[in-house]
């Protein structure tokens, strides 16, 4: 295949987005796009380029005091009659337009066209973000070559509609078990009904007043919800066991241990087992490059409510935020599209941030 990422395409973030979208790259099928990106990066004399699997990393080494990461995943969710791209008016449609090849285009264009950024920059294009964590290029590289990711600050170019979305909430899943005594329902007074006992657990969750927390100017809104319930033996048996699955989304000022303690406090008196947890990430907007980034964007940051790879950077000790042109509500949607004006604005913002001295 001839590389579609030609010098003319690389000169324009809109054309570059479109060319990237038109290289199919559903998760675990990123070789073609990684090859194209790698070739372009290797041709730039001011970059040192490395590859691990289908993850490509390129870096400047100008001896600057600060290093920042610009990161984007190369994969998309499965196609849904939305390949290749189409353009209607100011909208570009297609799989990956919003999530997140428009963001990848920002990083790739800067990598090629900005030989002397004000910070040293690590450009990180990774595989398999949309599927299980064990395939994720960021996870794989942080295990195999942790030094590739050493930096003071990271921008993850996920869709945020041109806003800064900082940090992210943590998520914890737990199972609460109520127990009773089995009996024939014709003589139910001999038993204790575990499904009825679940009622008090559900009442506590329904009445729970979730916190809203503001950190570095970003509001995070917590939530604690029953997400599944399972109990019952047969149509004529008083059940002796009921399981309620609870999902707690917690603001990043709580550690997983603190979140668990709070969950146990709310559901005190019940048997509770934590089955899964991913920590949140503080917004980290007090770092100097983050403050300068916010100034370049010129709009107030907002808290990220979902869980993103920002948290993986936070776990490596690197403050990170999300910034990209796509509308996050359209990610994974068959009608996925991006506003062309947002691509131009975002590319200009990143250039302003990295090029100014």
- Contact residues toward Zn ion (CB under 5 A) are 99-100, 158
Q: What are phi and psi of 171, to 5 degrees?
A: -140, 135
Measured from each CB, the residue nearest to Zn ion is 99
- The residue whose two tokens read 């979902």 is 306
Q: Tell how far CA 336 is from the center of its chain.
A: 17
- Cα–chain-centroid distance for residue 162? 15
Nearer to Zn ion, 165 or 292 (CB): 165
For every residue of 16-54, DSSP letters joined together read HHHHHHTS--BTT--HHHHHHHHHHHHT-TT-EEEEETT
Closest separation between CB of residue 332 and Zn ion, Å? 9
For residue 165, indicate whether it is catalytic: no
For the stretch 293-300, contacts whose Cβ atoms lie closer than 8 Å and that sit 24 or more positions apart, written own/partner, are 293/153, 293/155, 293/164, 293/321, 293/323, 293/353, 294/164, 296/349, 296/350, 296/352, 296/353, 296/356, 297/162, 297/163, 297/164, 297/323, 297/349, 299/162, 299/163, 299/164, 300/217
Q: Which is nearer to Zn ion, 100 or 330 (CB)?
A: 100
> Could you tell me the smallest distance in angstroms from the CB atom of residue 213 to Zn ion?
25
If the CB atoms of residues 158 and 336 are measured against Zn ion, the closer one turns out to be 158
* Cβ-based nearer residue to Zn ion, 21 or 272: 21
* Active-site residue, from 30, 38, 127, 129: 129
Written as one string, the DSSP assignment of 134-184 is GG-HHHHHHHH-GGGG--SEEEE----TTS-EESB-EEEEEEEEEE-B-EE
CB of 158 to Zn ion, least distance (A): 5
In whole angstroms, give the CA distance from residue 311 to residue 129.
13
Tell me whether residue 244 or residue 314 sits nearer to Zn ion (CB atom).
314
Q: Which is nearer to Zn ion, 283 or 328 (CB)?
A: 328
- Closest approach, Cβ 100 to Zn ion, in A, equals 4
The token pair at 210 is 């979730």
- The yes-or-no answer on residue 8 being catalytic is no
Catalytic residues: 75, 129
């Amino acid at each position: 295949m001839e590389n579609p990422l030609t010098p003319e395409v690389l000169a324009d973030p809109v054309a570059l987005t479109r060319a990237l979208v038109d290289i199919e790259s559903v998760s675990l099928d990123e070789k073609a796009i990684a090859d194209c990106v790698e070739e372009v990066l290797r041709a730039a004399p001011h970059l040192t380029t490395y590859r691990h699997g289908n993850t490509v990393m390129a870096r400047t080494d100008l001896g600057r005091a600060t290093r920042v990461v610009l990161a984007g995943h190369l994969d998309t969710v499965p196609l849904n009659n939305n390949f290749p791209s189409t353009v209607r008016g100011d909208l570009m449609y297609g799989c990956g337009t919003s999530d997140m090849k428009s963001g990848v285009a920002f990083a790739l264009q800067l990598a090629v066209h900005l030989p002397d950024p004000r910070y040293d920059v690590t450009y990180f294009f990774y595989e398999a973000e949309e599927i299980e964590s064990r395939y994720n290029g960021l996870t794989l590289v942080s295990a195999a070559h942790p030094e590739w990711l050493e930096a003071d600050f990271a921008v993850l170019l996920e869709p945020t509609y041109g806003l800064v979305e900082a940090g992210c909430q943590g998520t914890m899943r737990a199972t609460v078990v109520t127990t009773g005594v089995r009996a024939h329902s014709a003589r139910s007074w001999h038993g204790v009904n575990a499904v009825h006992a679940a009622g008090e657990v559900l009442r506590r969750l329904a009445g729970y007043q979730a916190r809203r927390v503001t950190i570095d100017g970003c509001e995070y809104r917590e939530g604690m919800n029953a997400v599944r319930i399972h109990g019952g033996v047969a149509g004529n048996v008083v059940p002796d066991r009921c399981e309620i699955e609870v999902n707690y989304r917690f603001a990043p000022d709580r550690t997983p241990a603190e979140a668990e303690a709070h969950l146990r406090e709310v559901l005190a008196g019940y048997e509770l087992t934590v089955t899964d947890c991913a920590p949140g990430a503080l917004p980290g907007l007090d770092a100097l490059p983050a403050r300068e980034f916010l100034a370049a964007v010129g709009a107030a940051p907002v808290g990220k409510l979902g869980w993103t790879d920002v948290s993986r950077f936070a776990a490596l000790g690197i403050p990170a935020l999300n910034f990209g042109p796509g509308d996050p509500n359209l990610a994974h949607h068959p009608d996925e599209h991006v506003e062309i004006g947002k691509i131009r604005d975002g590319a200009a913002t990143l250039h302003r941030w990295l090029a100014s001295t």
